[in-house]
Structure 1
Amino acid sequence: MAENCKVIKREVLYVQVQVTSPLSVSSGDNEWTDSDVLRDADGNPFVTGNSLAGAMRAYLGKKKDDKDCFMGFTGKDADGNDDGKMSSLFVSDMCFDGKYISGVRDGVALNGSKVAVDGSKFDMEIIEAMATAHFYMELTIREQDDEQQIHHELKQIFRGIDEGEICLGGKKTRGFGRFRLLSVKHQTYDKTNFLEYAKSYKKDIWKMKPDCRNQWLDDSEVPSKMIHIDVPLRMRGGISIRRYASQKGEPDFVHITDHGVPIIPGSSLAGALRHRIVTILLDMKMAGIKLPENINELVDIAFGYVHGDNACASNIIIGETEIKNARPLTMVRTGVSRFESAVKQGTLYKEKTYVDGNLNVHIMVRKSEHPADEKWILGLLLLAIKDLQNGLLAVGGQTAIGRGIFEKQGPIVIDGKEGIEDAVIGELLKNMAEKGEVC
């Protein structure tokens, strides 16, 4: 093992966060749902420190044998002996503060005709958005450590958390597991105050400490790992993504909500956009445009896949979207026989939907070592988004009766810039021809 160096100081950070989308961190148990949330002995949900640390390390792009990683490494030296270094960063479990709301989300896989795939129904327990939590991070600074580089990588981590690029738990590419920084408090312990270190993990001592969140985020040299796209939309009518009633007195079908707010799940948006991109690629092929890959392979690269032992994470990350200023509307409906013009027996039901709301769809595209990769994916995605803006692409159920249709509410914003989508789309074929290996 690498020779241990003298510890010169320790830095402890008390980090407060807010969960901004549902969190699904599974315990591996299925007592109440197919995937129950991880809880401690007192029944309180938490996120393990190794899950946090793993997400941070993956975001930095560091492997376990990368010797330049401040989160430690393992490997062999030139003589074949075990070589390594302990991580300079300790991350505690993330514990929730005060009230939180746990719920159940249903899911099902649909085929291209929006018909459920046999055996694909599942449910999972979640922690709903807006819950607050805290965790501790401790840096151990040794004599030979590059303290400036360590702080630079820690700033990358904080920027990744606050911009939603670091996510936790399951369904991360479909909007789950995002959280943002509320505050970061910092204390250094060295030989002048080492006795105070014994109290550093007591929550009460941090109440009077100043918040240094902005100092950790204010660094223009920290690059983003994603291309960020914002699409402001307005609903034209209602939306119907059903959550089946679980409480007495509720309508039979209720549009899905989270922390009391109507939402559009990232999986619903992803399914609609994926289907439209397939249609666009088919139209391109029919027009005589030569594609570099099979259509299914292009779509799999963009949206991810699992084929036996081979898998690729989605390069398009679609957030869960809140619908703001929408009006709830409860209606009673029934099925009518088209031949007899009479009510079908047993088809009366009550449904609650939401109408006339505003929303901002936030989508990210992973950056890659080959610049053409994210550009051709972005170009195809923007073509589908244009159809969403123009009311040509509907989302959710009951689209045949006008549900899930949107109109443009403002310009598409790509990494803070407006009006550049046409130029990106215009270079689609060029970048597709130059594409590298994304996965």
Structure 2
Amino acid sequence: MTMTQLFHQETEFQRNQRHIIKRIIIRGNLILDTPTCLGSGDSESPTDLSLLRDSVSNHALLTGASIAGAIRNYLREYQNSDESSLFGGLRTHEDGDQSPLIINDAISSEIIQPELRDGVKINSVTRTADPKKKYDLELLQAGAEFPLCFELLIEKESDESSLIKGLAIALQGLKQGEISLGIKKHRGFGRCHIKEWQVWQFDLTDYQQRLDWLRFEHWQLFPDYPTHELIAQALNVSLDEKDDQREFCKIDTTFTLASPLLIRSGQASSDKAPDVVHLKSRRNGELKPVLSGTSLAGVLRHRAERIINTIGKNVSIIEDIFGSDLSKNKISEAKASRLIVHESVIENTTDLVQNRIAIDRFTGGTLYGALFNEQPIFSKKDTKKDTHFKLNLELRNPENHEIGLLLLLLKDLWTGDLPVGGTSSIGRGRLQGKDVTITLQKKGEKTTFTIVQSSPQENLVINDADSLEKFVSALNKEVNK
């Protein structure tokens, strides 16, 4: 026997071969519910952040790594543990196992139809735009679809039931729209869902099923194959609500417009468009006005700073909730926002153009060439359906004093004391609350609070006002420590 043969024989014995006895293939069609930014990192792009594209077909590319990171983080929060073997070992584990879950890259079903958004950082003191802080993004429009494919490998010595249950939990999060993709996920971008699933299971200990798996056309679609609405039933596992170890405070409220609203859109629809138009986004093939998560989050943060500075000195609570500002902190000290602010579609509105002109403060006369027009959205009274929109906030791992701060912010929005959008100094951006449901989940227990106000002239109807008052009292104690 030669030295080469001995080397190969020794290497073969040292390998840790995986003895795979079963393969499960799962497919689903991912549908985007809100605009999504899957950044390419191209520094030469005309926008600050361009979309990741397939170089051949010009379709959007959703990498398997992005999907894996999103569902892994969801499963970690759901189980309150990072010990799941579904994604293999951690980077800190020198002898970590390979992930048994294979997630393919996905290419959008249609050519990219981009939506451009721009934003700017607002100074919390002057309430004006900071210089050189403007940015623009290229987003995928809501409604874009991606065919996803997952493949789970079951080894002989592995805990099959645990792996399948973990996968069912993660895919259930995708089905219910609880997992977002791309950047700025905590500001309303990247929300998505999956309607139904297709599942194939191959027992590799059976000769015929081994052949079936080898002949399986992974790149083909099977529109006539049976589908399942619930992934847990398709995988024959049972999921218990008690397994959900997440802690959160969700605020789901309905607002109407008490005054015109104008959130500036950086992209004019045509050359004849007004100088400033309200931000709109495409939903189900139709352009609809929206209240963006970035705009609302900025307004909430500035008002939260004002509240904390008024009642105490402990301002660290702001960064704990809204995340840290990289311009003031080192990267090692950066904190991600724990507050998720979703984007809201405003239903049943009307657009009106208003002409304005700048006034010379010295002479009191009009400035030459300073005529401009704006197109805010207005509330529209309808016998069937009035103007309304849903506003959704979610705070992860909340403390009682943090919930108290959110309640104060909600009160300011509800009463119109906290305007949103631009030109608030001339009366725009006031909201009026109609109803709210607050869901608090801590230590496996859920508590629900409701507030209803049928009209601005009527009193609030609160199901448990004393408990809500305790959260605000906790805030006062926290900031005055």
The TM-score by the shorter chain falls in which range? 0.7 to 0.9
Range moving further from structure 2, 325-334 or 265-274: 325-334
Cα distance in 2 for partners of 1:22, 1:295 equals: 36
Secondary structure of 1:203 counterpart: coil
Matched AA of 2:183: G
Question: Structure 1 residue aligned with 2:419, among 394, 399, 403?
Answer: 394
Alignment of 1:189-268 (within 5 A): 189-190=202-203, 191=206, 192-197=208-213, 198-205=215-222, 207-216=223-232, 219-221=239-241, 222-223=243-244, 225=246, 226-246=248-268, 247-259=270-282, 260-268=287-295
TM-score normalised by L of structure 1:
0.87
C-alpha distance after superposition, 1:310-368 (max 9, x if no partner):
1111111101111111112222222233554532212212222211131111111112x
Change (3 A) 1:66 1:318: closer
Matched AA of 1:299: I
Cα distance in 2 for partners of 1:66, 1:388 equals: 38
C-alpha distance after superposition, 1:80-109 (max 9, x if no partner):
xx5221111111113212365312111111
Aligned-residue identity in percent: 28
Secondary structure of 1:427 counterpart: helix
Range moving further from structure 2, 128-137 or 162-171: 162-171
Secondary structure of 1:282 counterpart: helix
Cα distance in 2 for partners of 1:421, 1:274 equals: 27
TM-superposed deviation, 1:2: 9.2
Contact 2:175–2:193 at 8 Å: present in 1 too? yes
Matched, 1:417 2:448: yes
Secondary structure of 2:197 counterpart: strand
Alignment of 1:53-202 (within 5 A): 53-61=68-76, 68-73=84-89, 82-98=94-110, 101-112=113-124, 113-190=126-203, 191=206, 192-197=208-213, 198-202=215-219
C-alpha distance after superposition, 1:238-272 (max 9, x if no partner):
11111134432222111111111111111111111
Contact 2:172–2:230 at 8 Å: present in 1 too? no
Change (3 A) 1:173 1:74: closer
Contact 2:70–2:181 at 8 Å: present in 1 too? yes
Cα distance in 1 for partners of 2:298, 2:394 equals: 16
Contact 2:188–2:340 at 8 Å: present in 1 too? yes
Match of 1:370 in 2: none
Cα distance in 1 for partners of 2:258, 2:363 equals: 32
TM-score normalised by L of structure 2:
0.80
Change (3 A) 1:366 1:2: farther
Contact 2:168–2:231 at 8 Å: present in 1 too? no
Change (3 A) 1:178 1:332: same
Matched, 1:297 2:309: no
Range moving further from structure 2, 400-409 or 422-431: 422-431
Matched, 1:36 2:50: yes
Match of 1:377 in 2: 402
Unaligned runs of 5+ in 1: 286-293, 368-372
Range moving further from structure 2, 144-153 or 218-227: 218-227
Cα distance in 1 for partners of 2:26, 2:128 equals: 49
Change (3 A) 1:204 1:162: closer
Cα distance in 2 for partners of 1:396, 1:16 equals: 35
- Structure with greater Cα Rg: 2
Change (3 A) 1:252 1:159: same
Cα distance in 2 for partners of 1:187, 1:338 equals: 73
Range moving further from structure 2, 245-254 or 67-76: 67-76
Contact 1:245–1:253 at 8 Å: present in 2 too? no
Tell me how many residue pairs correspond in the alignment: 416
